[in-house]
Structure 1
Amino acid sequence: MSAALMGPAVSVYFNPQLVAAQAGSATPFVFVLSMAAALIVANGIMEMARELPSAGAFYTYVTRGVGARTGFVTGGLMFLAYALLVPAELALIGSYTHDLLAQHGIRVPWVVISLVAAALMTLLSARGIGGSIKVALVMFSCEVAVILLLSVIIVAKGGAHGLSATPLLPTSSTKGLSGIALGMVYGVLSFVGFEAAATLGEETRNPRRNIPRGLVYAVVLVGAIYLFCTYAETVGFGTSDGAMAQLAADAAPFTTLGHAYAPWMDLLIGLAGVSSIFAVTVNSNNGIVRILYAMGREGMLPRRLAVVSPRLGTPAFAVYVQAAFAVLVTVAMGFWVGPFTTYAYLGAVLTFAIIPVYWLTNVACMRFFRKQHPEQFRPLRHVVLPVLAIVLMVIPVYGSVWPVPAAPYDWFPYAVLGCIALLAAVAAGLGRRRPELLRRAGEVLAGVDESA
């Protein structure tokens, strides 16, 4: 679940060019740094998952370690991040498939493709999560096979100008440390989803052992794929500034490399890209539908959202409401700034939303073991690594604030900060007037569904 939600092909196809625009030929180094940050962040999640295996995951961890109000904010940020992920992926599948078909002389407007994908996503969600998971697993296996095969071919042929260690050096960044920091926004985005398995704490055999293992294995497996594939991508274009400018300007660089190094793989590369985007779309959509259902059941949204279709056995109305929201955002932003730019903008915003969740979880880890379980307290796991995780996750935020990036990236962090302030104000009000509602609200925002 964690590996599939990260969407390796999506990240390999569409994130390196966004990183390369900032870090140049140091793009693989940015992914290595992002993987290290994800692994260190995962330490705090793993420690909490061992003690508190819960469907509430981050909400539960932060509530027990810090407090209910902070837990509410955490759940709200998780909701924001995953809610934006669906329209981001719908816009991306429209953009990529449109360009793919255009190469073969077939002209289909991107918005039509996005709407068809939204319809298929809605159908799968309405028919139940079992079918969605099976589809996602098949797509994940196929996409990984394709991107690894092309990467092996590129490396075996020596890339554009031979193999070198240049892409693995931070000194290769065209914009220095600020380029690495801003590039990490999309490096971290590539790992968003690794935490998904933490929500299965009540549905997994031996969760105290298997959830932490699942998190680490997912990050290591997918991180290794990212490292190898982005290295192949970088040397495939060449490590010069001009080559990196071409990579950064290419909306589908992996497809371009397929044409150059293995034209017989064109169809496979195209299908793998489309399937990966769609798998991420379906998985993230199921999570948001689950939250809407739970909020309707608790009376915090219209109770109709919790009505289960007698024929389908799923909360069909919640499925349709979520689909309508995703389509509205996709179409509105897609026509405003373009579909691929919609992916880039929403991806940046949702990354800024998820980073505070990682911060708060590691703060909760330190407080939880120091105050509530001092007999289990270990300085390395419960102080040093959580502090290091917080510091590493400050890097992409700092790089998005100083030096001040071009608009609208310069105000994305402040937009998320405004959402945090709003969530904190709501939590404070509920804490004073209706503390029980505050607890339930935080749980459902974090994706808890006790009837699952």
Structure 2
Amino acid sequence: MSQLKKEITLISGIGQLSTTLMGTGLFMIPAIAAGIAADMSLWAWGILFIAICPIALTFAELGKQYPSAGGTAFFVRKAFGRKLERSVAWLFVSVIPVGVPAAVALAAGFLQQIVPSPFDTALITQVLTVFLLVTVSLMGSKSSGRLQTVIALSIFALIGAFLWKGNITSADMVMPSVSKESIWPITAALGVMFWCFVGIEAFAHMGEEFKNPQRDFPIAILIGCFIAGATYWACSVVILKFSAYGSSNFEYASIPYLSDLLFGPKFALLISILGFSACFASVNLYTQSLARMVWAQAREYQPQGSIAKVSARGVPANATLLVGFVLLISTVGGEISGLNLEFFLKLANGIFVLVYLLAMLAAYKLLTGFRKGLAMVSLILCTLVFICLGWSMLYAVSIFTLLTLPWGRWLKRNRRQTT
């Protein structure tokens, strides 16, 4: 049977997860959250980080005990059987039409500032981004991990430079007073901010490729989440101090604006390169995780099929090409239809939170002792975040309901009746 190569080390795992969590989110979510809740967004970041800790710990325990390229779908299968596994797998795939176009568009927006004319159009740069995603994915997780570690270090350096050049002091980090009126803006901001911590469930698909998954996988999740949370909070402090929020332009351009304000236009090209690299790194892990989820399903149900094969590099090449094709169609469709960033983010968040919720439900059944209690706390937290999403959770619930309906049984019944 085809197997993936075990190439991911602790350092590369931390690099992959931290860049995935910070990638697209760092360049848009702090400004969007500040536009919703102003300085109350600092409280929202703290609440979100506290909430994500037990969820991250639960994912770490699941990945430690059940390392598999199937990720959450595999966890659900172990807990509830094969039927629900397929529904979760396809639910994860359903994020492509709503989540990936926004992420690719953001990355391509930075790429437009780098490539020469006439290739600097939105559509061409988005297609080029998808092509690069597939190319890097085909190189293998080891090469990808090294690349993302370098990108992570560059992001830390950028935020550190903002803190230094912006003369951020302890006075800028004072938490604002909370009142009854501030509760709604905080919860509304949380509905968007959860995007910043989607990536843990995608990272779960990489557990099978760790050299030492029992030791390194949980450590990589915990350290990666801590690094991302601290970076987001620090970035928000800078954005609030210099009022780089409150306009739709800042949804994409808060970081370039701060760079131009603090360092001048001479750093514009460097910011464009770093912005593209960070966004690319985030989408890159999703491309790999989606490919591995498709490969894991093929390995289980059609082991002799072409999708279940791996390349000489130990990469699910055919599954990667299939996912790349779907990404391309979704991205072109998203560009043609026109993107409302916040709308698409909320739809994608609904799917991710539901995937998290199902993973925590599986963890509650699979784990024992203290870990079961931790899973219960995580399940409650995921339910609360799901409620915070409001109307946007209906998309995820509708997709999941359609996927769990007994379509196969109905088709067989109709065939019998027609014959």
TM-score band by shorter chain is: 0.7 to 0.9
Work out which of the residue numbers 349, 372, 383 in structure 2 matches 1:382. Answer: 372
Matched, 1:399 2:372: no
Tell me the equivalent position of 1:163: 172
Structure 1 residue 120 and structure 2 residue 132: aligned?
yes
Residue of structure 1 aligned with 2:189, choices 170, 183, 190 = 183
Secondary structure at 1:245's aligned position in 2? Answer: coil
Q: Which amino acid aligns with 2:47?
A: L
Shift in Å at residue 427 of structure 1?
A: 8.7
- Aligned: 1:62 with 2:76: yes
In structure 1, what is the Cα distance between the partners aligned to 2:119 and 2:78? 54
CA contact (8 A) 1:7 1:276 kept: no
Query: Following the alignment from structure 1 to structure 2, what is the Cα–Cα distance between the partners of residues 205 and 65?
Result: 25
CA distance in 2 between partners of 1:299 and 1:60 (Å): 13
Query: What whole-Å deviation, never above 9, does each CA across 1:90-146 have from its counterpart, x for those lacking one?
Result: 211223444x469x9999321121122222223333444443333223222222222
Q: Check 1:249–1:320 CA distance in 2 against 1; reply closer, same or farther (3 A cut).
A: same
- Is the contact made by 1:17 and 1:249 (CA closer than 8 Å) also made in structure 2? yes
Superposed CA deviations along residues 195-246 of structure 1, whole A, max 9, x for unmatched, are 4443344443543333222211111111111111111211122xxxxx7424
SS in 2 for 1:122: helix
Q: CA deviation at 1:165?
A: 1.9
* CA drift at 1:315: 5.3
Residue pairs, 1:248-397, within 5 angstroms: 249-263=250-264, 264-296=266-298, 303-306=305-308, 316-338=317-339, 341=340, 343-369=341-367, 373=368, 377-378=369-370, 381-383=371-373, 385-397=374-386
> Per-residue deviation at 1:40?
1.7
Q: Structure 1 pair 51/125, CA: closer, same or farther in 2 (3 Å)? A: closer
Measured after TM superposition, the shift of residue 76 of structure 1 is 3.0
Corresponding letter in the other structure for 1:183 = A
* Per-residue Cα deviation, 1:255-275 (whole angstroms, up to 9, x for no partner): 111111222543332221111
How far 1:419 moved relative to its partner? 1.0
1:15, distance to aligned residue in structure 2 (A): 1.0
Farther-moved stretch of structure 1 (298-307 vs 44-53): 298-307
Q: Cα–Cα, structure 1 residues 205 and 136, in superposed 2: closer, same or farther, change >3 Å?
A: closer
The amino acid across from 1:423 in the alignment is L
| Distance across 1 between alignment mates of 2:298 and 2:38 | 47
Measured in 2, the distance between the counterparts of 1:315 and 1:200 equals 12
TM normalised by structure 1 equals: 0.75
- From the superposition, tell whether residues 74 and 266 of structure 1 become closer, same or farther in structure 2 (CA, over 3 Å): same
Q: Counterpart of 1:131?
A: 143
Name the aligned partner's letter for residue 292 of structure 2.
Answer: R
Secondary structure of the residue that 2:246 maps to in structure 1? Answer: helix
- Tell me if structure 2 keeps the 8 A contact 1:143–1:275: no
1:441 alignment partner in structure 2: none
Structure 1 gap segments, 5+ residues each: 238-242, 402-409, 434-452
> Which amino acid in structure 2 is aligned with residue 414 of structure 1?
L
Q: Contact (CA 8 Å) 1:48, 1:365: kept in 2 or not? A: yes
The answer to whether structure 1 residue 212 and structure 2 residue 192 are counterparts is no
RMSD over aligned Cα atoms: 3.6
Deviation, 1:150, is: 1.7
1:164-204 residue CA offsets vs partner (Å, 9 max, x unmatched): 524x5554x9x732322221133211011134443344443
Aligned sequence identity (%): 19
Distance of aligned partners of 1:132 and 1:327 in 2 relative to their CA distance in 1, 3 Å threshold: same
TM-score after normalising by structure 2: 0.81
Take 2:66 and 2:381, find their aligned partners in 1: how far apart are those partners?
25
Distance 2:65 2:304 in 1: 34
Give the whole-Å Cα distance in 1 for the aligned partners of 2:47 and 2:407: 34
Supply the distance in 2 between the matched residues of 1:318 and 1:205 (Cα, whole angstroms): 22
Contact in 1 for aligned 2:245/2:254 (Cα 8 Å): no
Whole-Å Cα distance in 2 between the matches of residues 73 and 122 of structure 1?
A: 25
Unaligned runs of 5+ in 2: 1-12, 414-419
Match of 2:162 among 140, 146, 150: 150
TM-aligned CA deviation for residue 307 of structure 1: 5.7
Q: Identify the range of structure 1 (329-338 vs 359-368) with the bigger mean alpha-carbon deviation.
A: 359-368
Name the structure 2 match of 1:439.
Answer: none
Change (3 A) 1:255 1:426: farther
